Structure 1
Amino acid sequence: MAIHRFSMIFDGLKKELGEDEARRIFPEYSSLPDESRKMSAKEQFELAHSIMERMDHSLEREQIKKIRHSHVCNLTRAQVREFIELKERCESLDELLTACGCIKQGDGAYLLRWDNDKCVCGLCRNLDAYEPISKTWCECCNGHVIKSYSWVCGLPISSEFVETYASGGKSYSFKLSV
């Protein structure tokens, strides 16, 4: 089996586009090493960069979002515990989202922003330096925000990312709509 993040990308492409188109966009998939022989962080980043460029040139934005949102990271146990505590303590949705780090922008609109000195994504966090990757890669993080905050709020939310470190931004910023 190939490295998990690449299996998830291929599975998303295949489900949305069919196997032939998935192989056209991600021809390297069939020759990827299995989990027992790890690719270096740099090799993984370079491969992801190439796949995202092909997706950008071949697909509509909504297709990209659907593919990248299809396999997102779950909250950690610590995050789940923290959010449960906040949900128990907060009396309103506004109070809950503010406690979760959101800044209210208007009726049902919030800005989620956090600063780090580098990307927290599993692809990028182990690299000392890298060229910015396409925003297509960061749609996975946006999908994580949607999944996580929909769970926290108990309501469907939508999110658009403003900027991410991996795509060349200075922070993580997402516009949430509840």
Structure 2
Amino acid sequence: MEASQLMLILAENNHLETKRLYLRPVTLADAAAMYEYASDEETTAYVFPRHQSLAETREAIANFFMAAPLGKYAIETKAEHKMIGTIDLRVEAEALRGELGYALNKAYWGQGLMPEAAMALLSLGFDSLQLLHIQAFHNLENPKSGRVMEKIGMTKEAQLPLSRLWRGKPVGEAMYGITREDWLKHVL
């Protein structure tokens, strides 16, 4: 499938729905809800630098989520209609590969919401985009993120010791992944 076809499929699927969640484009109206968790040290410890102001969150939304919105979603609860996190599927069209990334307000941890959102993106990636492989990375000091990956059927494919610099210190990462073939076995 050509890159332009993949982008069209992502554009056609910019709103997804699960049992408890809406996945939709991130807008500036989400700034206060995002700042709630983006300014929290525990939530951001392994994901991105903690936001220092609402203005910084608005800039992040404009520059990351709105500048190139395809494959990037706000996670909104159906019950509260509150934006509680983000999830994205970055597609490498030439290789038919994707990378999953996510962040969730800690007030919603442990409820199975992130695996629910991630399963929707795996379905999009494998069923609609026909990707061959989807991967995700987590800091070795953050095994909870790896647990999310396991819950959605991913397996650890590599452990990368001291693979990148994070907040001024070398850290290791684990790479998890799932193939389209394994996805089809997992969901059937």
Q: TM-score, normalised by structure 1?
A: 0.31
Structure richer in strand, relative to its length:
2
Could you tell me the TM-score, scaled by structure 2's length? 0.30
Higher relative contact order (CA 8 A, sep 6+): 1
Give 1 or 2: higher helix fraction: 1
